[in-house]
Amino acid sequence: MPQDNQSGQVAKTSHAEADAQVQQKLAQAHRTNRRLRRFSLLLAGLAAVALLALMFAVWQSNQAQARQLAANAQLAFHEGNTHLAVLLALEAQKLDPAAGTQLLEQTIPTHARHAPGQLV
């Protein structure tokens, strides 16, 4: 009978070791999952920041282009080319509503304006 008792002890020990190994592997898997979640959140945050930077760059580009068109419209207006000035001011106003508005108000009489950016 002592031998049966020893084999029972060995079986209990091997089960305990197996349980410990399973617990260790589970803990390692949880740590790995946490790391992957953090990494994916970091990547998502970086993508969001990059998207915001891109949107800001496009907005700045549109504003710069609108200011350039408005300046060209002003130059055309001073040179007496009213039609070109109006077209350039309308294009500037499409990119930035404030850019061509002042020039349009100077060149187009109030009664001739139908809607912002449109002529009657």
The model's pLDDT over 3-22, given as tens digits with 9 standing for 90+, comes to: 555 555 656 678 888 888 99
Q: Is the pLDDT of residue 88 over 70?
A: yes
DSSP H/E element including 118 = strand 118-119
> Residue 34's pLDDT is what?
96
Higher pLDDT, 8 or 71: 71
Q: What is the mean pLDDT of residues 11-39?
A: 89
> Residue 61's pLDDT is what?
94
pTM of the predicted model over 0.75: no
Distance in angstroms (rounded) separating the CA atoms of residues 12 and 88: 88
